[in-house]
Structure 1
Amino acid sequence: MKCNKIIYTICIVLSIALCLGQERIITIGGSVTDIVFELGYGKHVIATDQSSTIPEEVKNLPQVGYIRAISAEGILSLNPSKIITTTDIGPPNVVEQLKNSGVDLYIFDSPYSFKDITLLVKDIASCINKQEDGIKLNNNLLNIHTTLEEIKNQLDAKQKIVFFMNPSIGSFSAAGSKTKADYLIQYLGGENIFANDFNRYSKVTKENIIKHNPDIILVGSTMGKDEETSKSIFYNSKEFKNIKAVMDNNVFSIDMGSHLTFGSSFPKNTLVLLRSILQNDK
């Protein structure tokens, strides 16, 4: 009996030691989550935020809110050992609560370009002690980036492109300059038709769209609309029937989580989109 008690005690101690040694990470921000999983560290992630939609595995994890409106109580109740996020996190008072909680908090610059993504990969790899994997991942991203640049260099001219967020029949919110969608358009080798009209996002009229006559229309959605529904807003409109993008069947529905997260999957997803656009032009 005494021997059994000793074995039981040892098992308990070992279990506690294992728990203490097991990292419990909360990733806040789609780019961070994407990179942590790509670095092979996803098994340590216990929760994410609503902006984290890739990879597929994250959909089974608890969520702690949206990156710009986080609750400290929801995060700390999960007893994380480490919180990794970007400068998009908010509100400020919650960030202060997290800083004072005693939990390791890492806040890295939010990525807005390919270079920013590679820097974030390097920072996160160092944070989770996966430096070698970080170097390999960045080399892979650079190879994809080089392929994309080579394809763009072969294009005759820049395409006029517009990006709409969750458009409906009577409402069109377009991306202007200083948006991730604007960078996506540039990264595709295109020209944002509203870049010189306004910053951020703004509602535009059908007349404005017709006036600019885009070559390509990108329809981004976060509301779960299927592709055909999103594209039909343009294809089924009599007003848009003479727009070049509609006439050439160049309206593309894209997942905003995949294309505007700016994590490690951004170059690959952009390359796939560019090839789809070029294939459609043949």
Structure 2
Amino acid sequence: MKKQFILSLLLSLFFLSEVTLAQPTTPQRIIAVGAGVTELLEALDVGDQLIAVDSTSRRFADKYQIPLLGYQRNLASEGILALQPNLLIGSEEMGPESVLTQLRQAKIQIEVLENPQKNHQDLQQHIQRLGQLLAKNKSAEKLSAQVMQQIRQIQSLPRGKNRALFLLLSDKGQLSTGGHRTTINGMLDLMQLHNLSAEKQGYYAYSIEAVLALQPDILLLSERSLSQDLSALQKKYPFLQQLNATNQGCIFSVDGQALLGGFNLSSLRESQRIMQAIADNQNCLQ
């Protein structure tokens, strides 16, 4: 009887410790930096714990009626310290490092979500990590399952032509493209499209002449903005009319949020939207 009592006591202490470890020790006051990070936190059901967000997350600031901080690469320690957060979560684009150092010295926990793969594997790791950090393991499991379902749906869609090119357009007429180890390359890989600019790493300058010579089957476009208007882009950049992809309707805009802070939920959603549009257009398949 005594042995049974001791065993029951030990089991009770074990399960109690598990519950204690699974719960944050203090109420969370979270600042999210990066639209992709903020969206992920909302998907994990901790939107009500946000006390401020950066400027790329403006729609979340409006939704939760919370302060809007500066741009994610140019944060100011004074404004953050005044809000008394106990947790700051952002992508590896968050900075500058001098500000992050000041915040750490003020005993604010900082969680940097790194993106070594630049694809959906990073997103899955972020979901798992935040689920553990915020004691939202069940929400994380549910979200991870949804992500896997979306990936399967994307890869089950019909595909034909696969020579794809991404162009980042600027008001000054300069073009850039995304090589390997970029979020856009991760999106193209997920869609099983061949990235014509993958021979180089990162985002790099590109010329109109090179685009016209390549004549990609699929063309993806984005400006340095969170919102994109494909019709306006085609009018703004006349050279696009010289491409077969444009004439075949195989030209698509990419939401700027999908490219910020590594592969995020918007990256996945845009991949699915674009791949479905390709599948629905016979000109993009033949």
Length-normalised TM-score, structure 1: 0.80
Q: Which residue of 1 aligns with 2:196?
A: 193
Matches within 5 A, 1:31-42: 31-42=36-47
Q: Unaligned regions of 5+ residues in structure 1, if any? A: 1-20
Identity of aligned residues (%): 22
Residue 83 of structure 1, CA deviation: 1.3
Q: Which residue of 2 aligns with 1:253?
A: 253
Q: Which residue of 2 aligns with 1:126?
A: 132
Q: Which amino acid aligns with 1:254?
A: V
Q: 1:167 to 1:178 in 2, by over 3 A?
A: same
Alignment of 1:174 with 2:177, yes or no, is yes
Aligned pair partner of 1:113 in 106, 111, 119 = 119
Q: Which residue of 1 aligns with 2:244?
A: 244
What is the CA deviation profile of residues 194-237 of structure 1, one whole-angstrom value per residue up to 9, with x for unaligned ones?
A: 222x3322232221111111112111123355331112245x44
What is the CA deviation profile of residues 8-52 of structure 1, one whole-angstrom value per residue up to 9, with x for unaligned ones?
A: xxxxxxxxxxxxx75321011223211110111111111111333
Q: Which residue of 2 aligns with 1:71?
A: 76
Q: Which residue of 2 aligns with 1:81?
A: 86
Q: 1:79 to 1:136 in 2, by over 3 A?
A: same
Number of aligned positions between the proteins: 256
Any conservation in 2 of the 1:38–1:264 contact (CA below 8 Å)? Answer: no
Q: 1:169 to 1:251 in 2, by over 3 A?
A: farther
Residue 191 of structure 1, CA deviation: 1.3
Q: 1:179 to 1:207 in 2, by over 3 A?
A: same
Residue 69 of structure 1, CA deviation: 2.2
SS at match of 2:55: coil
SS at match of 2:234: helix
CA distance in structure 1 between the partners assigned to 2:40 and 2:51 by the alignment: 15
Any conservation in 2 of the 1:49–1:67 contact (CA below 8 Å)? Answer: yes
SS at match of 2:110: strand
Q: 1:58 to 1:195 in 2, by over 3 A?
A: farther
Residue 95 of structure 1, CA deviation: 1.6
Length-normalised TM-score, structure 2: 0.79
Residue 166 of structure 1, CA deviation: 2.9
Any conservation in 1 of the 2:257–2:266 contact (CA below 8 Å)? Answer: no
Q: 1:80 to 1:210 in 2, by over 3 A?
A: same
How much is the aligned-residue C-alpha RMSD, in angstroms?
A: 2.6
